Structure 1
Amino acid sequence: MKADINLTSGVLVESAQKSRFLRILRITVLSSIALISIASVSLFLLINSISPDKIKKEKDQILFSIKFLNERQAKIAIVNSKIADISKILDNRTNYESEINTFLEKIPNDVSINSFEIDKAKVAITASSDSLSSIDSMLNTFIEMTAKKQIIKSLTIGSLTSDQKSGNYSLSIKANKL
């Protein structure tokens, strides 16, 4: 008998189930709307912060800086290449300074040098003085250098001239280097 007794009506039970279902449905709909709203706002902010125009501008700036750095790197490489070439030339070039100083030390003070040419194989000097003995002294020191095998191996007198008006003597010599 207790089983047949129903204190609630069937309509109320069904309406309670429907109201529970509607409540769950409302909560689901509201949470879906909130979730979609949050996702939309987030997506909008993300799109605005990472806009294609902004990305293109950044790309252009990066490409320009890379291009500038490549040009700069190319210029540095060219300069380094030129420096290396100059260093090779300087290393291969004969240092004539000590040889020139050796010759100049042998020349008396009252003898003036009109021309002085030096290369790998030859030396050519044209000197003048108002004293023939000074020219003789210079010539004798060069002959001694030849005898001692200092820088030169042979000596040739090109010319010896005198200017009677000015009283100057001029000597032109050529020497073959060792």
Structure 2
Amino acid sequence: MDGKRSREALLEFLDYLAKKGLMNKATASARKAAANSVLSILDGNEAEDVTIIDIDQLFVRYANLAGSKYKPESLNVYRGRLKAAIEDFKNYQNNPMTFRPSVQSSGRKVTERPRVGQGEIDAADRSVSRPIASVSSPPPASVSILPIPIRPELVVQIQGLPYDLTPAEANKIANVIRAMASTE
């Protein structure tokens, strides 16, 4: 095995996505943290090709070894992040020229304010979504989820931002958020 599909190659790939602006840095970092933590339980032979790992079986092992440190919701978040990271990695390995990072939403959901969570993983990934009205044209490609830590135990998420967001559009979004601020 030449290491092209190894644990280390996956982690380097996630760094590459962030460095080249192909994925939001926070998203790439969150996926890398999950991959690094979960894949750390693999021995050298198992880590040679992460694209053939049975993720469900891996999470049974991970929960048995480290699960007491995490809530079930947190483990599910890690599972989703690892699965997305490996899928993107496989797609890139199969055809780098047509690769586009995965988007965790169909683009038809709007993320509302998340609830305050007990742990970093929970707070970073809780959201309530609702469908929005159909539009005549398909939505532009967007980043998956942009987590923004605002307090030690509170991370809000913005979902569905287009890659070609203009400064005027960013100001419009910022103004909506400013209007929600409490003046207490």
Rg larger in 1 or in 2?
A: 1
Q: Relative contact order (alpha carbons < 8 A, sep ≥ 6): 1 or 2 greater?
A: 2
TM bin (shorter chain): under 0.3
Per the normalisation by structure 2, the TM-score is: 0.23
Structure whose residues are more often helix by fraction:
1
Per the normalisation by structure 1, the TM-score is: 0.23
Structure whose residues are more often strand by fraction:
1
